[in-house]
């Protein structure tokens, strides 16, 4: 479980990127969706989620 400090959107984005590079697409998507809950207007997070979803195709 992530500590409260580590649930910040920027941390979740970084963690999602690591999961993406390791091929762990489900975990990457989960982390990015959590980041987007906190910052739903973030274009950067939206683009990263698109990258993750495209990798799963």
| pLDDT, mean of each 10-residue run, the chain (57 residues) | 68 95 96 95 96 91
Whether 25 and 19 have beta carbons less than 8 Å apart is answered as: yes
pLDDT for the residue numbered 5:
57
Domain containing 16 equals: 5-55
- Number of separate domains in the chain: 1
Encoded tokens for 6: 């580590």
pLDDT for the residue numbered 3:
55
**28 exposure class (CB count in 10 Å sphere: 0-12, 13-18, 19+):** buried
pLDDT for the residue numbered 2:
53
In angstroms, the Cα distances linking 42 to 2, 8, 48 are: 21, 13, 10
pLDDT for the residue numbered 12:
94
User: For residue 40, how far is the Cα from the chain centroid?
Assistant: 12
């Amino acid at each position: 479980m992530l500590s409260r400090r580590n649930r910040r959107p920027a941390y979740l984005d970084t963690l999602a990127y690591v999961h993406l590079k390791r091929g762990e697409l489900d975990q990457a998507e989960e982390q990015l969706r959590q980041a987007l809950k906190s910052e739903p207007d973030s274009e950067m997070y939206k683009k990263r989620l698109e990258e993750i979803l495209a990798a799963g195709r």
